[in-house]
Amino acid sequence: MSVVTPFPHGPRPAQIGFDRPELTRILDLYGRMVAAGLWKDYAIDLGRDAASFSCFRRAAERPEFTIEKRPALRHRQGMWALIGEAGQVLKRGTDLGPVLAPVERKLMKLVEE
């Protein structure tokens, strides 16, 4: 009749994600940058090692900034990283606020002009 395939046993691969306060903080910054006309699109990537939030000026480009959460680096360099368009790490830290500071400063300069 039919063959029963056993369900795989063992630990399920972990998926790294953003907590609600973290995602709220990131989306708040994203909303302000959209209102300023700088960003048009975003992408969220949830993987086994890291979770990333990428911000795009246009949908067909490389991301201008990527905010990455990598819990394995929590006790070393800090689990948060701000990565630039060319892939360089602009800021790294244990808290999300100081890592987002360079992007927020860019927004403040645009408001003053």
Indicate the domain borders of the chain.
Answer: 20-112
Contact yes or no for 65/84 (Cβ under 8 A):
yes
pTM, full prediction: 0.78
The predicted structure's pLDDT at residue 25: 92
Averages of pLDDT over each 10 residues, the chain, 113 residues = 75 78 92 87 89 86 88 85 89 89 77 55
Q: What are phi and psi of 26, to 5 degrees?
A: -65, -45
Contact yes or no for 90/82 (Cβ under 8 A):
yes
Contact yes or no for 89/82 (Cβ under 8 A):
yes
The predicted structure's pLDDT at residue 11: 66
The predicted structure's pLDDT at residue 57: 85
The predicted structure's pLDDT at residue 2: 80
Look at the alpha carbons of 59, 57, 52, 20 in this order and tell me if their dihedral is positive or negative.
negative
Contact yes or no for 18/53 (Cβ under 8 A):
yes
